[in-house]
């Protein structure tokens, strides 16, 4: 018996190795491929969604927009055409969650600085306060890379409608005037087709780490 094994040892070991590889590949092929959800208004907390679209279950995308960034440049959806991006809502005088969110967004900026497929977009919810000059000052203080990250201000109604009808990420301040907003800690992952692919708590490192993992998964999906 030993002599037979010795004679065919190389063949047996090779066969065993090939069998192990085949089993491994077969097992992996049977595993469900992880994909990111495509979020619709009906899937999100109604407090964050305008009442006119809470029923929508498919085909939701980010609307066209025209806002002004920290350099006084007009930023539109065309600047994000064919890009994956992370969006959020903030204001420069916020003393609570904004500094944490901005720091975490800056960490994301560091991770994507050499990636031409990914950009960042932060909307002011107090555009009457956050002028171009104010945004520029804030951008310099926080280390914003103008080529990767736009801080935008503009018409309050437009920002409100983007927040409530597109990004599904900001609460309505019912006690204030028209278009008053209470921003949340949400970071929103948007794909190249302007669809929402994830919501993340921008104040928590573990959720920012998850965002980066999902971003890599989303990028890979365009290679398949």
98 assigned binding-site residue: yes
151 assigned binding-site residue: no
60 assigned binding-site residue: no
The answer to whether 198 and 189 have CB atoms below 8 angstroms apart is yes
The answer to whether 51 and 41 have CB atoms below 8 angstroms apart is no
Alpha-carbon span 160 to 166, nearest angstrom: 9
Binding-site annotation: residue ranges for Cu cation: 94, 98, 183
Binding-site annotation: residue ranges: 94, 98, 183
């Amino acid at each position: 018996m030993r002599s037979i094994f010795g004679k065919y040892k190389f063949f047996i070991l090779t066969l065993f190795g090939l069998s192990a590889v085949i089993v491994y590949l077969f097992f992996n092929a049977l595993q469900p491929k992880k994909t990111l959800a495509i979020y619709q208004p009906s899937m999100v907390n109604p407090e964050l969604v305008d009442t006119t679209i809470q029923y929508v279950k498919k085909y939701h995308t980010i609307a066209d927009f025209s806002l002004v960034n920290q350099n006084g440049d007009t930023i539109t959806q065309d600047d994000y055409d064919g890009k994956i991006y992370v969006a959020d809502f903030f204001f420069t005088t916020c003393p609570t969650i904004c500094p944490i969110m901005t720091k975490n967004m800056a960490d994301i900026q560091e991770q994507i600085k050499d990636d031409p497929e990914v950009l960042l977009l932060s909307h002011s919810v107090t555009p009457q306060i956050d002028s171009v000059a104010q945004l520029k000052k804030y951008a310099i203080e926080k280390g914003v890379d103008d080529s990767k990250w736009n801080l935008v201000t503009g018409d309050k109604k437009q920002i409100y409608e983007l927040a409530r009808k597109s990004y599904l990420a900001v609460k309505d301040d019912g006690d204030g005037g028209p278009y008053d907003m209470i921003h949340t800690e949400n970071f929103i992952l948007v794909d190249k087709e302007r669809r929402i692919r994830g919501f993340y708590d921008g104040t928590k490192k573990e959720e920012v780490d998850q965002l980066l993992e999902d971003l890599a998964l989303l990028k890979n999906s365009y290679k398949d």
